[in-house]
Amino acid sequence: MKLRIALVQMEINDGKKDENLKNALSHLKEIKKLKEVPDIVCLPELFTSGYDLRNTPQYAESIPSSTIEKIKEISEDKFIVIGSILEKDEGKFFNTAFILNKKGNIIGKYRKVHLFSPMLEKEFLTPGNEMDIFTIEELDDLKIGLAICYDLRFPELFRILTLKGAKIIFLPSEFPSPKRDAWKTLIRSRAIENQIYIVGVNRVGQGKSNHFFGNSIMTNGEFIVILNNKPQIKIVDIDVAELKKIRNNLPLLKDRREDLYSFKI
């Protein structure tokens, strides 16, 4: 199955929610005008608030949120949108990724499991405790997974999503400098070891406490597209059927030992 995916690498102004949302919506409007619109559009992590977590209660929204409703007005009947925002639920706050389908319905959400303490997530947010794959009916029942930024450093999460059937894992991110080499190495590693597509969409520009280098990536380990360090929208065409060829050539998933954790150490 062939797919067209848009990576929206955008600059985010920490704490300027209205400004950031306006920026994101303008990108979606720009994409909507394309002669051939993409099937899926991916935005960065916390694209409305950035990492101004001390003011989380001011920015967090209950899902379905006003932000998602505004995205729906643009994207409905055109493309699927994936991104991450601050969510509030029963007095707790989460870094939550969502999938909004072409009908404007939320068909999946994922609360970030691994919170990044150097950027104060553990101080102000609650970690999620669930993960799953999501089936997109409009795209021939394509199965995808969600992860967020720091999750990239925990390979077991990606292996579990792969074993559940994910063919693509989307990774909205705010991966900070000076970790560019780690970002590129880890994304390609997760793709190679699981024989899947990884779509990592990173923020660019200067935040209150960190700089962000962009370099958004789409790869299956062999095929790879890397963006620059400027705000940019990149449309990439892929063929999910390529994964079958990769797995036939090297059957990693079939050859793995399911009884590995019973070994004596």
* Whether residue 57 has a cis bond before it, omega within 30° of 0: no
Q: Nearest to residue 198, comparing CAs of 172, 230, 233, 232? A: 172
Rounded Cα distance, 95 and 125, in Å? 7
Smallest CA-to-CA distance from 104 within 135, 69, 132, 139 is with: 69
Residues 6+ apart with CB under 8 A from 94: 86, 87, 88, 111, 112, 125, 126, 128
Catalytic residue, candidates 42, 45, 61, 102: 45
CA distance 112 to 201: 15
Let me know if 45 is a catalytic residue. yes
Pick from 256, 83, 248, 243: which is nearest to 160 by CA? 256
Catalytic, 122? Answer: no
**115: burial class by Cβ within 10 Å (0-12, 13-18, 19+)?**
buried
Out of 61, 87, 121, 149, the active site residue is 149
Q: Which residues contact 69 (CB under 8 A, 6 or more apart)?
A: none
Please confirm, yes or no, whether 42 is among the known catalytic residues: no
How many Cα atoms are found within 13 Å in the side-chain-facing hemisphere of 124? 19
Q: End-to-end CA distance of the chain, in Å?
A: 43
Catalytic residue (choose from 112, 121, 167, 174): 112
Enumerate the active-site residues.
45, 112, 149
